[in-house]
Amino acid sequence: MVLPTKPSLFVLHWLQLLTLNIVGGKKEPYSFPIAQNVWGMVRMALIGRQGKEWLKAVYEGHEEELRRAANWARAVVLFNAAIIAVTIVFRLWPLALIVTIAPFTANWWRYFVFVPMHTGLKDDVEDFRLCVRSITLDPISHFIYLRMNWHIEHHMFAAVPCYRLRKMHKTVAADMPKPRTLFGSWAEMRKIWKQQKADPKYQFETPLPKPRDLKERDKALEAAIGDLAPKALEE
């Protein structure tokens, strides 16, 4: 995260959020560049390689995992190509709209929910509690957003599947900052943004609970990833 930053007010960006979101907003880090993501999936399917530098680093030295990821990309591309073909041949226009085109349409709520996860927090820190927010959502948004509103837990425990994040949150709640509400997060971001306008070096310090004393056994467990380690790392 490079601070300070703020959500985009670019007119074309907001028009896309309410209609078709293809390229996102002007100089906006949270604009959902859908076309770029689709091209990344197609590229992976065609040549079995990622274009983004950080994704190249993720798969470096793990050819088997890269092969599996490429096969998954091919399955996704072929599935959506089949949906489009069926739509055209049988003129079932709602089919492609619901299945394939849906991620491109009306992303305003996704934008409203996603932006608070990182915006306005500290950068260049190792503690995810200081650079990520977990927020509470209503049951419908919680389900649609795949429970990823438990975002600190998602980053700290990346191997935990999304449907277990709420349980993970309850397990580690004593060591976590209190979850914000959605509207409270936006209010906090606005307050931070105003302070950063006056002082560009200002970074918000999320209040954290006092660290608990850990026994030697707990310290060993804290440093371990155990069975979550990729098979390639066990060799």
Cα separation, 153 vs 41, in Å, equals 27
For 83-147, the DSSP string reads: HHHHHHHHT-HHHHHHHTSGGGB--HHHHHHHGGGTTTS--S-S-HHHH---EE--HHHHHHTTT
pLDDT for 108 beyond 80:
yes
Answer with the residue of higher pLDDT: 127 or 26.
Answer: 127
- Quote the pLDDT of residue 206: 95
Band of pLDDT at residue 95, cut at 50, 70 and 90? very high
- Asked if residue 169 lies in contact with residue 142, where contact means CB atoms within 8 angstroms, the answer is no
pLDDT digits (tens, 9 = 90+) for 17-75: 888 877 665 555 445 566 777 888 898 999 988 777 877 888 888 899 999 999 999 99
Mean confidence (pLDDT) of the chain: 85
Alpha carbon distance 11, 17 (integer Å) = 10
**Mean pLDDT, rounded, for 74-93:** 96
DSSP annotation of 61 reads: T
| pTM metric for this prediction | 0.73
Nearest partner of 116 among 93, 91, 89, 136, judged by Cα: 136
Q: How confident is the model at residue 10 (pLDDT cuts 50, 70, 90)?
A: confident
Q: What are the distances in angstroms from CA 10 to CA 6, 14, 27?
A: 11, 7, 9
Mean pLDDT calculated for residue range 133-142: 96
For residue 27, the model assigns a pLDDT of 54
Give the tens place of pLDDT for each residue, 141-174. 999 899 999 999 999 998 899 999 999 999 999 9
Give the H or E element holding residue 181: strand 180-181
